[in-house]
Amino acid sequence: MGKKKPIKAFIIDDNKDYISSLIISARKKSIIIKSSRNLEDGIDYVKNNKSIEFVILDGKCFVDGDREESGQTAKNIPTRAKSQIDEINREQNRAIGYCVNTGFYDELHEDFEGVFEIFNKDGSEDLLNYIVAVVSQSELYKIKNKYSECFDAFDKGIIERQ
């Protein structure tokens, strides 16, 4: 078996600089990250892009494009997103993993403890290792790696995913 397929992740976060930094760090672990600055656009992307295997949720983020324009974040984003991702998993027979990654760890960790795996934005190495561990255990990821040449046509865009 050759090189492992990259992991496709998605982050919903209002901090552009943090997203850029995380994308660079993630490449070293063969994680490709796409992003959105608000929940509404992010969930639409995840729903319509079946290659996404993991979602990183900000502890506080914009709900939609209007709030993004106004700069108003909301702290219940992970709870909303969890139910929407769980629904996508059920409806599309997917196994998208997710966690909370926040710069407000001290303020929010009690709200999410026991519901989400929670990471502090200061420790991206732990977050990236967690993503690799979760996705590597999924049956689909194992199959994609075992039969990687069968998936090349999809990865290169020769055949469109349905």
What are 98-126's pLDDT values in tens digits? 999 987 777 777 777 778 888 988 878 99
H-helix or E-strand spanning residue 12: strand 7-12
Q: Which structure tokens are listed for 28?
A: 């070293």
- Please state the domain extents for the chain: 7-155
Class of 7-155 in CATH: alpha beta
Give the number of other Cβ atoms within 10 Å of residue 49's Cβ: 12
For residue 2, the model assigns a pLDDT of: 46
Q: pLDDT tens for residues 45-95?
A: 999 998 899 999 988 877 777 766 666 666 677 888 999 999 999 999 999
Quick check: pTM over 0.75? Answer: yes
Beta strands at 7-12 and 97-102: parallel, antiparallel or unpaired? unpaired
- CB 100, CB 55: distance < 8 Å: no
Q: Two tokens at 105?
A: 């760890």
DSSP string, 31-50: EEEEEESBHHHHHHHHHH-T
pLDDT for the residue numbered 1 = 42
Mean pLDDT of 25-34: 95
